Structure 1
Amino acid sequence: MRLGVAGAVRGKMVRTSLHGTFTMADAATTAMAAAIDEQVDAFFAEAH
């Protein structure tokens, strides 16, 4: 599940920004996704 929600959100972000409609809400979502990614990475680092 490494590419779950955060990966999907980032994929949407790239498409959105390429269309030039990058908004503040999108920026907040990207920051949240990045934080989730860090937590997931830390979890897997401890688990293995």
Structure 2
Amino acid sequence: MSQILIIDAGKAFACSNGELNHTLTNVAASFLRDACLPGRCHGG
């Protein structure tokens, strides 16, 4: 099983409050979690 570290380094800047980074982190985590369901992973 591969392990991937995703760092959410969202920082409040101007008026964004780091929301874009939080959103991209959540999308990446969801994609990686859902893309490798049992029986769908290569080699597993």
For normalisation by structure 1, the TM-score amounts to 0.44
Which of 1 and 2 has higher RCO (CA within 8 Å, sep 6+)?
Answer: 1
For normalisation by structure 2, the TM-score amounts to 0.47
Which of 1 and 2 has greater Rg?
Answer: 2
